[in-house]
Amino acid sequence: MLDSAADILLPFYLRSRLEGRTIGRNLVYRDMMVSTQTVGRKLADGGEKEGAVVLAEAQSASYGRLGRPWVSARGGLWFTVILRPDLPPASLQAFNYMASLSVYSTLRADLGVDAWLKWPNDVFVRGDKVCGIISEAAATSDSIRYVLLGVGLNVNNEMAEVGPGPYRAASMAALLGRFVDRNELLVSILTEMDSRYAGIKREGITRVVREYSSRCATLGRRVKVILGDRSFEGVVAGINDEGALEVDTGKGITRVYAGDVVHLR
């Protein structure tokens, strides 16, 4: 018998639980990687089929959006999913939403926490950020070759000191006051993803974008939108069917497809 306190991911168990699904059809597991996104890119460029999951216990040089460093110590869930959707590049934002919703739904259903979503790629519990999503793609002007959907979820890992910013980071174990079974949590997240991805392949992105819109706590909030070296403020009016955030600046609606958003009090 395995002692749950060992807190190790079990590839043979994960493979058996994910058998028959698109996402999880191949599991590439290493104790240490530079980054699951980096390894995922090499695999995708080499022809790896969609649904492969690249999983590491720890990463030595992981990153988030805009190349920002991401601390990924042992005890978290650090993984990348390779997808090859037959969709135009304009649909890419929907994959951030698909991953965010899958983590959000799992945390609420399996752990009973009051998780919430912040546009475009964060999952929070109470006032603390527990998960970040990154999506990167290789695409032409009219088609997607592949999407690398990276997820970093703080589970049982000890949190390092974080730099200045408007939000704190926390682990699920710290918030719940108990150990969390990472194997079961990962199976649930990937199962949720697989179901939503099957829906996207059948129907397109509209359903997942609308589901995200109905769950996202950024809607209706006054926000500051940061786009490189410029920024503006406004009230979030909605998310359109392409996945763009619509912000009412008082002078009209500005559509935001990518950027940093800070909730204002």
Is the pLDDT reported for residue 64 higher than 60?
no
Same domain, 210 and 232: no
> Per-residue pLDDT tens for 172-218?
999 999 999 999 999 999 999 999 999 999 999 999 999 999 999 99
CB neighbours (10 Å) of residue 191? 17
| pLDDT recorded at residue 68 | 60
Domain around 89: 4-214
Is the pLDDT reported for residue 247 higher than 70?
yes
Q: What whole-number distance in Å separates Cα of residue 95 and Cα of residue 108?
A: 20
Q: What is the CATH number of the domain that holds 163?
A: 3.30.930.10
Domain tally for the chain? 2
Q: What whole-number distance in Å separates Cα of residue 2 and Cα of residue 34?
A: 28
- pTM score: 0.92
Least confident residue range of 7-21, 101-115, 158-172: 158-172
The mean pLDDT of 94-109, rounded to a whole number, is: 97
Is the pLDDT reported for residue 4 higher than 70?
no
Same domain, 149 and 122: yes
- Rounded (10°) angle between helices 11-18 and 182-203: 30
Q: What is the CATH number of the domain that holds 257?
A: 2.30.30.100
Same domain, 149 and 41: yes
Percent of the chain predicted with pLDDT > 70: 91
Q: What whole-number distance in Å separates Cα of residue 134 and Cα of residue 148?
A: 8
Is the pLDDT reported for residue 119 higher than 50?
yes
Higher pLDDT, 260 or 183: 183
- Cβ–Cβ under 8 Å, residues 78 and 152: yes
For 75, residues 6+ apart whose C-beta sits below 8 A from its C-beta are 7, 155, 156, 157, 158, 171, 173, 182
For 65, residues 6+ apart whose C-beta sits below 8 A from its C-beta are 121, 132, 134
CA torsion sign, 68 to 62 to 83 to 130?
negative
User: Model confidence at 3, in pLDDT bands (50, 70, 90)?
Assistant: very low
Same domain, 250 and 175: no
Same domain, 164 and 257: no
| pLDDT recorded at residue 71 | 66
Same domain, 158 and 254: no
